[in-house]
Amino acid sequence: MTFVNSEFLRDLKAFDIPTCLRVCAGTDGSVTFLLEIMTRKDVSVVTEAQHIVKADTEMSSLLKVPEGSDVNYRLVTLLAGDIPFVRALSLSPIDRMPENIRQDLMRADIPIGKILRKSGIETRRDFDNINITENDPLFDINRVLSRSYHIVHDNSTMMWINERFPVDERWDL
């Protein structure tokens, strides 16, 4: 099994974007942690939506779970200081999450990177795709970089995440 998506890396290298954004979009670690280092500010989470849904056909395929399985749907914005940097959607099969992670995730105010670091479990991030769009604005910015990946634990998808980043001067750190 290949863990490095060469197309993802090729595309990321080709984008004309600020270096700090390139680093955040290319990390296979915590975006939250990188944002705190780059901005020298605490990163906070604003929860836009969080609820348990039943996996539909698309989610079932994405997460490799049976249709109808309980999935935690979580949409958040990550802010450094009062500046929004990332909108993140996560889908997490409830029965694949260790209890301590499930409890922290349901609290909604803790970034996933911090939850995983605190738990001490070993995970990896397997990249799916990355692209830039010009027609789906985020934080009043038209040019948006989007990436998606799986967080894998014990060779099963524990979470699928899509992160969207505005491509603008906020990344000139």
The residues that bridge with 126 in the sheet, in sequence order, are 150
Q: In this predicted model, what pLDDT tens digit does every residue of 81-107 receive, in sequence order?
A: 999 999 999 999 999 888 888 787 777
- For residue 13, what are the CA distances in angstroms to 6, 27, 84, 102? 11, 13, 24, 35
- For residue 62, what are the CA distances in angstroms to 7, 22, 50? 19, 25, 19
pLDDT level of residue 1 (50, 70, 90 thresholds): very low
Q: In this predicted model, what pLDDT tens digit does every residue of 28-42 receive, in sequence order?
A: 888 999 999 999 999
**What percent of the chain is modeled with pLDDT above 70?**
97
**Model pTM score:** 0.90
Please count the helices (runs of H) and the strands (runs of E) in the chain. Answer: 6, 6
**Enclosing H/E stretch for 15:** none
- What's the pLDDT at 90? 94
Res 116 pLDDT > 80 = no
